[in-house]
Amino acid sequence: MADACLLPPSVEQLIQKICIEQKQPPLGLQARLELASLGEEAALDILHAIAVTGVKKSFDGFVIYLAKQKAADGSPIKRFCLSQTSTQQPSCSSTSTRMMMHQQCESIIQSSMSLATSSSSETASRLGIRISPQLQALGELEFRKAFLILSYIGGYKLEEVLFADEIRRMEHLPMAKFEAEIWKAVGSRCGYIREHERVKVLILLYLVWDCGWTHIYHCHVSSDGTYRFKGPYLTMMSNFLQRTLGDDNVLMVKFAEEDADKSCSTSSSIDYFAKYGRLAREGILVGLRRYRFFVFKDGGKEEKKKNPTTSPVKCFFVRTQSDASRDHPNHILDGKTIRQARSTFMNVDKLPSLSNYMARFSLILSKTVNFEVDLSAVKIEKINDIPCRDNDGNVVKGNDGKYLIHTDGTGFISEDLALKCPKKVHKGKCINGNEMERLLDCNGLIGKSSEIKFSESNFGEPPLLIQFRLFHNGGAVKGTLLVNKKLCPGTIQVRPSMIKVEADSMQNACTKSSFEIVGTSNRPKRAYLSRNLIALLSYGGVPQEFFMDLLNNALEDAKGALSKKHAALQVAIINGEMDDYMVARMLFSGIPLEESYIQYHQLILMREEKKCLKGGRIPIPESYYLMGTTDPTGTLEGDEVCVILENGQVSGKVMVYRNPGLHFGDIHILKATYVEGLNDFVGNAKYAIFFPCKGPRSLADEMAGGDYDGDLYFVSRNPELVDKFNQSEPWCPPFSNNNVPNKKPGDFSDEELEDELFRLFLMTRFQPSYTVGVAADSWLAMMDRLLILGDDRHDEKINMKKNMSELIDKYYDALDAPKKGGKKIELPDQLKAELFPHHLERKEEISYKSTSILGLIYDKVKLYMEEDTPKNEVWKLHCFNDEVSESCLMKWKELYDQYRRDMTDALKSNTETKNEAANEVIKRYKEILYEATEFEESKRREEDIFEEALAIYNISYDYAKARGDAKYCGFAWKVAGQALCKLYSLKQSNGEKAMKIYTTQSTLKELFNK
């Protein structure tokens, strides 16, 4: 088929000339095949005729018509060319002659169009489009195959590149084979997309296509309103929207970046709607499916971190109509308006204002794990929020006129339901307990090290707190649920503060219900300071020496990771998720710290650690990030908290802070108190901080307006830090008037509602607010200046603190704006910093040399980073010199070559999925070696596995040595590491009994004696 598309250079040049001069699209495949079948001379004859006459409607149709005439007897083309030649002489031209010529041309063109149309057997559809044979064949395919074709043809029409029979011929191919065939047929041959745009990773991971991962379908809209498709991409994450409608019925739509100035005027939103409004009204056609605008969400700073080059605002269209024969006619949204489609998820039309319509509805986009529980058998009860009261017992109102509450965002769940919940969930993803962690837990090998805590796991205990989304009978609830052993089985209790959309009073079969888990209260990881926190602590009286001591310890640990086994093990375990604890396994096996791959890995960690330290991310002992909730017993006083860690409740003074607090009073010193009756509620469940339900204001609200719907709180028991900090008065929100007239969603017609929501999306996407970022940078610049001002600058300090107070109010307003309908908060020019400390790394002309603690930290780490780093040479362990069969070496040499290609392609894949793709590559080669997922699960003979592991080791190390780069050693340990660790431990045991983690007592003694 590739050869049939090739035409002689003279023909190609003439085709290109016609396309340029007459502004025609490239000639389609069917027309090119007709020309190729006639030969060069006849093809040129046809094209010269078209060049003279001009294309009126269809270049393809004209070529097909004339080619079929030529194929019949050759005379029509000749006669036609002669008639055109005679009319080219000006002296012989007349109005009647020209009229006759144009009538003849029009007749020929109409005939050609009629022939092309009839030959295609096009039929009308309810989508309002003409269905060509190619589109009809596309509709017979599994959707991801159909989408892949549309993705690979780029901006061209399907009818221009493929025949219907070609599409049907590939229908039953496995997905990986199908991708290869489509790439060969249209991608590589005709250059419709570039090589790097190919969904490469999916070709190589044959198991991935059907692994059950979520398929993400992308549509990229250009600034001129045209669009093309990309993907599908695969991810392990999913949300309620995708699980309800199916991956293929959800289309992620990305709008191209604009070159215009970021500070667009309000009128420009009208221009955007004029440009893109058609997409909202007519939808997007994907083959024989129509997708319409449905929901959007601003991912904010977190989403921007993942991909700084694209907008964090994600927009989703959903399929509402289809003429594809493969699609079931009774699709969940089929025949529904978009308004009715949204009511399938929740009663957003019942919200009191349009301002928070999309903020509430976008809850369906939260990355979650579905909690498979029969909600019809669950008793969902409403309980009251606990109000804040003054010393006289009166309920307190805030500056906005609303009653203040202590229980904002937190309720209860019965123990039986909590036990069914996944034990570890983080950001919508289940975290499986790592074998290394479990083994260390069970053997008690680490003891009570403040940095490496692996004590006995509570596998029979439920998570103490569950961050969730509950969709039920058209209602939407979000927040946290505290396990409550006192509740009747099968019970969930929610408060009014948790209810974002009210449910129907009666069971509604038309709405979809689901319990979705965002996260659980997990074992806290190592805690770190931040620039903001260091600045606030320094202002509160914590001396510079405290931070410099922490920094020196961190730098020593970073250096020790290359030279001291205990320090290396500590670093390897803390960062164990990066390599599945492989370096920790290697050290436990007794492999020397000087080993090439260990040194390479530790060097990478050391460099990254120094980069983080330069920005103020300094590890601090005896500190934790814990999910917050309220005291269910009601016994804690206003200045008390209860903290549950590894070994239960703790006592003593603690420091509590919530990111991204900027106010001087956002840090609190509180008393950690033992609560006698708490065990009756939570049993032995762990890891949380409980706040009191007493006092005139919630402690969480005093910390940057926090609540208990999943917020994490920095909690420190570090005595030096707690004792030296002087607490300031907490932040108090300024007076605000929320009585602004706002039309209710129900006041809009269907068309008006869609226009308003799409305008809101366009404004959020193309006119984002930069207030949060600008305010945060300006605050840090002012705070830095405040820290270095001497006591003799008293008046300047007072004025600066006044400006900072106004700045903080604007900052917190801007943070809350998305929750309140996206109201734009502007930052006055007088509150914007003009000069920045050098540690923020701005342009030299707007920077000054800072002598604050942040400047000192930056300078010291930068000096360390400039030191020469040790050279990492590649060498082999002597005990792995055993002879390996030639056939085994050849097998793994070929596989290693393929692995490098696979991994290169995986790391070039979509930013959001490349880590998952890389892990899948490793998984595939481990399965080849073990014929199982892991070494311990393998049924192969150990001797056979050891031989292949040695082959892998020698091949990868030889390759690394030849290239002088130890990173290539990684293949051996990522794929065969478990087997190599056991083999090394057995060879070095000298009669000692090898333990389950493939170590020996002598190795343990070396590791844990500094």
Predicted confidence (pLDDT) per residue in 147-160, tens digit: 999 998 888 889 88
Confidence category of residue 673, pLDDT binned at 50, 70, 90: very high
| For range 84-103, the mean pLDDT | 38
Cα separation values, 1002 from 435, 990, 992, Å: 22, 10, 9
Q: If you average pLDDT over every residue of the chain, what do you get? A: 84
User: What's the confidence (pLDDT) of residue 917?
Assistant: 78
CA-CA distance, 366 to 514, in Å (whole number)?
Answer: 13
SS3 per residue for 588-606: HCCCCCCCHHHHHHHHHHH
Q: Which residues, 6 or more positions from 933, have their beta carbon under 8 angstroms from its beta carbon? A: 923, 926, 927
Q: Which residue has the higher pLDDT, 440 or 86?
A: 440
Angle between helices 544-560 and 596-614 (to 10 degrees): 160
Kindly report the CA angle at 682 between 678 and 687, in degrees rounded to 5? 95
Separation of alpha carbons 238 and 428, rounded Å: 8
Tokens of 154: 């780029």
Residue count (the chain):
1010
Q: For position 196, what pLDDT does the model report?
A: 58
**What gap in Å lies between CA 315 and CA 296, rounded to an integer?**
4
What residue ranges do the domains of the chain occupy? 3-120, 130-344, 369-438+460-520, 878-1008
The mean per-residue pLDDT over the stretch 283-302 comes to 91
Token pair, residue 834, equals 């003009």
Paired residues of 669 in beta bridges: 655
pLDDT above 80 for 195: no
When pLDDT is cut at 50, 70 and 90, the band that residue 84 belongs to is very low
Q: Report the amino acid identity of residue 487.
A: L
H helix intervals, 818-941: 853-865, 886-907, 914-930
pLDDT digits (tens, 9 = 90+) for 312-335: 899 999 999 999 999 887 788 988
Q: How far apart are CA 940 and CA 398, in angstroms?
A: 68
Q: Kindly report which listed range (20-24, 162-166, 638-642) carries the lowest average pLDDT score.
A: 20-24
- Give me the residues paired with residue 185 across strands: none
Q: How far is CA 126 from CA 131, 285, 288, in A?
A: 10, 13, 10
pLDDT exceeds cutoff 60 at 104: no
Please report the pLDDT score of residue 423 as a whole number. Answer: 86
Alpha-carbon Rg of the chain, whole angstroms? 34
Least confident span in 402-411, 437-446, 457-466, 804-813 = 437-446
Binned at pLDDT 50, 70 and 90, residue 189 comes out as low
Closest by CA position to 227, among listed 254, 200, 202: 254
Q: Cβ distance 412 to 381 under 8 Å? A: no
pLDDT digits (tens, 9 = 90+) for 380-392: 999 999 999 999 9
The most confident of 20-24, 569-573, 612-616, by mean pLDDT = 612-616
Asked if 386 and 499 touch (Cβ cutoff 8 Å), the reply is: no
Total Cβ atoms within 10 A of residue 421: 20
> What tokens were used for 562?
């290359």
pTM: 0.82
SS3 call for 38: helix
Q: Which pLDDT score is estimated for 489?
A: 97
CA distance to 208, 944, 945, 947, 987, per residue, from 881 (Å): 36, 16, 16, 11, 12
- Dump pLDDT digits (tens) for 341-358: 999 999 999 888 887 899
Q: Tell how strand 668-672 and strand 640-645 pair up.
A: parallel
CA 457 → CA 434, 644, 699, 788, 890, distances in Å? 12, 15, 31, 47, 44
Given a contact cutoff of 8 angstroms between Cβ atoms, the answer to whether 546 and 721 are in contact is yes
CA dist., res. 687 & res. 713, Å (int)? 11
CA distance 922 to 1000: 28
What is the pLDDT at residue 197?
Answer: 63
Q: Is the pLDDT reported for residue 125 higher than 50?
A: yes
Q: Kindly state the tokens that stand for 85.
A: 């030649």
Strand partners, 470: 477, 515
Q: How many CB atoms are located within 10 Å of the residue 224 CB?
A: 8
Whole-number Cα distances in Å, 972 to 19, 219, 603, 948, 952: 55, 39, 18, 10, 6
CA atoms of 498 and 466, how far apart (whole Å): 13
Q: Is the pLDDT of residue 455 over 70?
A: no
For residue 719, the Cα-to-chain-centroid distance in whole angstroms is: 38
pLDDT at residue 508 tops 70: no
User: Can you tell me whether residue 837 is helix, strand or coil?
Assistant: strand
> In the Cβ-directed half-sphere of 485, how many Cα atoms lie within 13 Å?
14
Q: What is the structure's pLDDT at 1007?
A: 59
Q: How are beta strands 313-322 and 250-255 bridged, if at all?
A: antiparallel
Cβ 446 vs Cβ 538: under 8 Å: no
For residue 909, what are the β-bridge partners?
A: none
How far CA 585 is from CA of 42, 564, 607, 997, 1007, in Å, comes to 73, 16, 22, 7, 12
Cα–Cα distance, 11 to 3 (Å, whole number)? 15
Amino acid at 795: D
Q: Is the predicted pLDDT of residue 709 greater than 60, yes or no?
A: yes
Handedness of CA 256, 260, 263, 265 (dihedral sign): negative
* pLDDT score of 457: 43
pLDDT-derived band at 28, boundaries 50, 70, 90: confident
- 994-1008 burial, b at 16+ Cβ within 10 Å, e below that, comes to ebebbbbeebbeebe
* Gap between the Cα atoms of 784 and 835, Å rounded: 11
Asked if pLDDT for residue 107 goes beyond 70, the answer is no
What are φ and ψ of residue 21, in 5° steps? -70, -35
- Considering the chain, what percentage of its residues have pLDDT values greater than 90? 54
Strand positions, DSSP E, 35-165: 123-124, 130-131
Burial (CB count <10 Å: 0-12, 13-18, 19+), residue 330: exposed
Q: How far apart are the first and last CA of the chain?
A: 69
Average pLDDT over residues 264-289: 80
User: How open is the CA angle 189-195-196, to the nearest 5 degrees?
Assistant: 165
d(CA 754, CA 281): 8
| Distance separating alpha carbons of residues 178 and 917, to the nearest angstrom | 20
Q: Cis peptide before 660, with omega less than 30 degrees from 0? A: yes
Task: Name every residue whose Cβ is closer than 8 Å to that of residue 914 and which is 6 or more positions away in sequence.
Answer: 201, 906, 907, 908
Residue 515 clears pLDDT 70, i.e. is over it: yes
Percent of the chain with pLDDT over 70: 83
For residue 950, pLDDT over 50 is answered with yes
Say what the pLDDT of residue 24 is. Answer: 83
Confidence of residue 188 (pLDDT cuts 50, 70, 90): low
